[in-house]
Every structure is written in structure tokens, then in C-alpha cells.
Amino acid sequence: MFPEYYIVLASWLQSLGMPDSMIRLSVTVTLWLGVFVIAGAVYWLFAFPITRAAHYFTRKTPTKWDDYIISDRVIRGFSFMVIAFMIMKLLPAASLYMSISWASVLVKTLKSLFVVSVLIFVLRLTDTIYKASEKQGMEIHLLIVLRNFVKIVAAVVAAIVILSIVLNRNVAYILSGLGAMAAILSLVFKDTILDLVAGVKLSIDKSLVKGDWVEVPKLGVSGTVIDVAISAVKVRGWDNSVTSVPPYALFSGGFHNYEYMKRSGGRRIKRSFNIDVNSVRYLSVEELRRFAGQEWTDGLDLGKEQVNLSLFRRYLERRLIESSGFRDDMINMVRELQPGSEGIPVEIYLFTSNTDWKDYEHTQADILDEIIASVHLFSLRMYQHPSGADLQCVLSGHCSDLTPDN
């Protein structure tokens, strides 16, 4: 393009009697200015007429996708790519008197800038498509994975192309060199690679999404997920601190996701306490009369002796399960575990509809309070290691307050 203009302009300046050195300088400056004037004109066209025309036609279409995708940010990124391509093609032709070495540097720089402009356009288009898909109600966790994956691939490809331009080598040659370094890179960036793979699998499996309540026992992390990325999962703790957890740590150490529990509408209470073996005995008919007329004794024959621990389990089941706040469509029971050196373990296993953490803890505490307060009614004694009060009563010989009713 420019050599023809160069000849015409040089001939006209020569006819004016301008020296050859000044002609070369004047022609070069004029052609460079011409390149940037054209670039400015292209930018103005995209910034105003083309952008307004694109918005006009997208508003006329019945779909909303084009309104989101053909945004000012995407159009601006595309204009930068077009301008970079024009400068890459025109500017070397305007540098006729540049030395070979400087011309080579200029060409490599312009090609690299064009690759960078393409990368910027791809990244902007990816972000715009992600936002458009999010507003259309698509799966957010999958969109995040695809967006991050496309960005990583685009950045790697751009880096390889720029490296081939700078080294003046074929892309296949660069890839072969990177293949030889793959073993070393896999060792150096092993954790990063594992996190990337785990992050992709984590998002595709839908085992963790934004807003879930999770707990990572190995790392001592518990809170709400605020971001799920390929490289890290950010969890906001109950103290409002934010912790970045590597995705691979979630798979290697395991984690609890309480979101499924919240969706089910029932949260399990599984607590146990120990009964002193020496306090388990038959209750006489006279002792059983204190329970006559109570609802939980319906169906029981109080005219014969009953084991106090069996009665206590029945009392807890009827008292807890029939009370409000528990899911009758889930497993609810009071069971005995294997006796040991610390007595007979009795376990409360039931599901409450209070899935909120605060309400759940209060419900659980109320159950334990009820157990501790009512165990003496059945002439039972809870097992615990001797404390200062126990030793003091043994030494004084006054332990009547620490023994069950007989």
C-alpha cells in the first residue's frame, strides 16, 4: 500500500527542491502519521457508529443473548484487535529506511501486540458469555469452570505463539521443547496441577457450589462457600474470616457438605451418655406407681417389676420423638451400645427439623439437659470419672446426695 504513496510523495517533495535526506525523513514521518490516523479513524468508527448500530439491531431481535454478548466492552476489544492487525500490516511498510535488525524487532513487537489484542478480546468475550449465561439462569458452577478453563487455555496458547514469534521458531518446535520440560514442570508444579484437576472435577460433580455450608475437619475450616474456582475454594467462616482452601485438599482430606442436610429438612442428633452399671436394676411395683397415668407408660404392665434402664429408654423415646420439632418420617430411637469399662453407653439417635446451627445446638442441649435432670427418677446414675466432690464425700462418709434413689 504505502510504497506507491511513497513514490508519489517523494516525487512531489523532490519537485519542490527538498534534499534527499529531508525527503526520506518527511516521507517516513508522514506515512507513520497516516498509519495512526487510520487507526484513530477505525477506533472512532467502532466507538460510535458501529457500536450504536449494533445496539440498535440487537434491541430489535427477540432474543436477549445478543444484547449481553454484543456489549461495549466486547466491541471495544474487537476494535483493538482490528487496529492491532492494521498497524501490524501497515507500520512495517511505512518504515522503509529502518535497519534490518530494528525492522525485525518492530515486526516481532507488532505481531506480539496483535496476539495480546486477540487474547484480550477472547477473555472479554468469555467474561461476557459467562455473565449472559448467568443472567439466563444456567448452572453457575459449570460456567465458572468453563470460563476459567477457556482463559487458561487462551493464555497458554498466546504465550506459546508470542514465544515462537520472539524466538523466530515454529510453534511445533516450541511445543516439542515444552514436552521435554513436562516431566520437570510436573514435579515443580505438582500441587498446582492437582488443584486444577481437582477444581474441575469438583465443579463438574456439583459436590460443592457457592452458598453451601461446608466443614473441612483436616484444616479446621467451617463456613459458607463464597467462591468456587479451579485454583481455590474460598470459605467464609463464622467469624467472617475468609479461608482459601486448595481443591485437592478437599478430596485428599475429605469434607462435610451440610447443604444436602438442609435441603432434606432434617438434621441428625447423635449424642451418647454412660449409665453406671451398678445402678441398673429392677424397679418394684411400689416404685412403678409414681409413673402411673403418664402417657409414655401406655401399653406397659406396671403391675410387675420392670428394668429401670428399659423404662428410661422408653421414656426418652416417647418424650423426645413425640415432641414437636422432630421428623417422624426419619429414624428416631434411643439405643444401647456395647458396655465397657465406663458403663453402658446410651445413644440418642434422631432427626430434628431445626437445621439452623443455633436452633440445632439449642435443641441438642435441651435434650441433654432433660436426660441429666430425669435420670434420677428411674434410680439410675450417670457414669463419670471421680471428681473433687466424689473424693470429698468418700473421705467424709456423707455420699447420700451422690447416689440414686432407692
Q: Which residue has the higher pLDDT, 185 or 60?
A: 60
Among residues 218, 66, 247, the alpha carbon closest in space to that of 141 is found at 247
Is it the case that residue 333 has pLDDT exceeding 80? yes
Domain 207-257 belongs to what architecture?
Roll (2.30)
Q: Band of the pLDDT at 406, cuts 50, 70, 90?
A: very low
Q: Which range (99-113, 196-210, 251-265, 363-377) has the least confidence?
A: 196-210
Is it the case that residue 400 has pLDDT exceeding 60? no
pLDDT value of position 312: 93
Task: Mark 23-59 as b/e (b = at least 16 C-beta within 10 Å).
Answer: bbeebbeebeebbeeebeebeeebeeeebeebbeebe
- Read off φ and ψ for residue 225, nearest 5 degrees: -75, 125
Fold match between 207-257 and 265-402?
no
Q: Which residue has the higher pLDDT, 141 or 345?
A: 345
Is it the case that residue 305 has pLDDT exceeding 80? yes
Contact residues for 282 (Cβ-Cβ < 8 A; gap 6+): 305, 306, 307, 308
Helix H or strand E segment including 363: helix 357-374
Q: Where are the domains of the chain?
A: 2-180, 207-257, 265-402
Is it the case that residue 282 has pLDDT exceeding 90? yes
Q: In what order do the strands lie in the sheet with 344-352?
A: 267-275, 344-352, 333-336
Alpha carbons 175 and 154: distance in angstroms, whole number: 15
Distances from the Cα of 119 to the Cαs of 80, 126, 300, in angstroms? 11, 10, 79
pLDDT value of position 189: 64
* Mean pLDDT of the chain, nearest integer: 78
For residue 96, the SS3 value is coil
pLDDT tens-digit map of 311-327: 999 998 887 766 657 87
- Amino acid of residue 22: M
What number does CATH give the domain 265-402? 3.30.70.100
In sequence order, which ranges of 99-170 are alpha helices (DSSP H)?
100-135, 140-167
